[in-house]
Each structure stands twice: as C-alpha cells, then as structure tokens.
C-alpha cells in the first residue's frame, strides 16, 4: 500500500516558492516543510502515474485492482506473473465468447492449455437447404488436465467458463489429472 514514506523529499517543495518576506522566516519554512512531507507521496504517485498503469511495473496491489478494472478473468489465487499477464491481455475483450478467447482465459488462470470441443461448425453449400454443420443442440465441453487437481479447481474452472463462454451456450467442465507418459 502506498502512504507516507519517511524522508521522502518533495519534487516541488513549497518553501522556495514563498514570497520573499517568508524566505528567512524559520517558522514559515518549518510549517511548509511539514506540508511538503504530507504532499510528497501524492506528488510521487502523480510523477510516476504512467508506471501504475503498466501491468509489468505497477505495484502488486495496484495490479490486482487493474485486473478488476479491465475485467481480467482471475480469482486472486494465481501467481504474480500470471496476474500481470492477465492484466496485459486486454485484447481478450475482442475475442471474448470465442474458442480462442476461452482458451486464452483458461491458460491465464491455470497456466495449462485446455481441451475445448463445441457443437458448432461452419460449412458452405452450393445447394439451398443443405445440411447444417455441427450438432443439432449447442454444447461446449472444456477439459483441463492439471498435474495435481483439487476440488477447488473444478469450481474455479466452472466460474471462468461461465463468464467467458458464448452467452447462449450450455457447457460442462471436467478437471482431471495430467496424463503421464507410459514407458
């Protein structure tokens, strides 16, 4: 958390800007020095404001606030590097509701590529009234293979898919243990 910092000098001290009559007044100089100490953290934040909005450089608590601000799909348990990557991935708003957007949101939350299958499809036919592609009933299936899955992982994945899927699409999620290569 930001706040007062002992010994932080002001980038714009008030004392030298006072009228000449107060330049040699010890009481006036000490009084405005106290104001400088109170205002210095505010000026410091304002001087460094662009850094606060850069996910790679922002303080961790501010990066968490930025994640909420940009609508990053996080739950607060991810490591700092993944949190910062989720904040930086503001392009996900453009692809939200798509297979790619869902896959990227899951990767940012878990660090693992999901297996996604859906009932949709796209096709082209030269004849009218041709068969529709995909399955008759829409459905989305998301499988996530984790090295050490826990009960909270399925709940977390369910909440993430519910938020990032196409709005009309019913879905199921499955979290399983990662396949180990057979020897």
Ranges of H-type helices in the chain: 20-23, 26-47, 49-52, 60-69, 80-88, 99-110, 151-164
pLDDT score, position 49:
87
β-strands 140-146, 115-118: how paired? antiparallel
Q: Do the beta carbons of residue 101 and residue 92 sit within 8 Å?
A: yes
* C-alpha distance from residue 118 to each of 137, 144, 158 (Å): 10, 15, 16
Q: Do the beta carbons of residue 78 and residue 86 sit within 8 Å?
A: yes
The 10s digit of each residue's pLDDT in 93-107 is: 778 888 888 898 888
Residue 72 confidence (pLDDT) above 50: yes
Q: Is the pLDDT higher at 20 or at 3?
A: 20
The 10s digit of each residue's pLDDT in 128-172 is: 877 777 677 888 999 999 988 888 889 989 988 998 888 888 999
| Coil/strand/helix, residue 158 | helix
| Pairwise CA distance, residues 3 & 64, whole Å | 18
Q: Do the beta carbons of residue 84 and residue 76 sit within 8 Å?
A: no
Share of the chain above pLDDT 90, in %: 14
The second-level CATH assignment, the architecture, of 98-183 is 2-Layer Sandwich (3.30)
Intervals of CATH 3.30.70 along the chain: 98-183
Tokens coding 78? 């991810």
| Coil/strand/helix, residue 113 | coil
Q: Is the pLDDT higher at 173 or at 150?
A: 173
pLDDT score, position 3:
57
Q: What is the largest CA-CA distance in the chain?
A: 94
Residue 114 confidence (pLDDT) above 90: yes
């Amino acid at each position: 958390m930001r706040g007062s910092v002992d010994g932080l000098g002001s980038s714009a001290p008030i004392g030298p800007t006072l009228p000449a009559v107060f330049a040699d007044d010890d009481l006036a100089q000490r009084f405005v020095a106290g104001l400088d100490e109170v205002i210095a953290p505010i000026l410091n934040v304002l001087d460094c404001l662009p850094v606060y909005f850069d996910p790679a450089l922002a303080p961790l608590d501010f990066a968490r606030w930025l994640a909420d601000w940009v609508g990053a799909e996080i739950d607060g348990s991810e490591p700092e590097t993944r949190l910062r990557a989720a904040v930086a991935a503001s392009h996900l708003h453009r692809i939200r509701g798509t297979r790619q957007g869902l896959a990227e949101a899951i990767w940012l939350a878990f660090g693992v590529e999901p297996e996604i299958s859906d009932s949709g499809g796209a096709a082209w036919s030269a004849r009218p009234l041709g068969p529709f592609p995909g399955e008759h009933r829409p459905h989305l299936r998301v499988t996530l293979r984790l090295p050490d899955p826990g009960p909270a992982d399925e709940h977390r994945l369910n909440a993430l898919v519910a938020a990032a899927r196409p709005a009309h699409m019913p879905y199921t999620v499955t979290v399983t243990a990662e396949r180990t290569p057979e020897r």
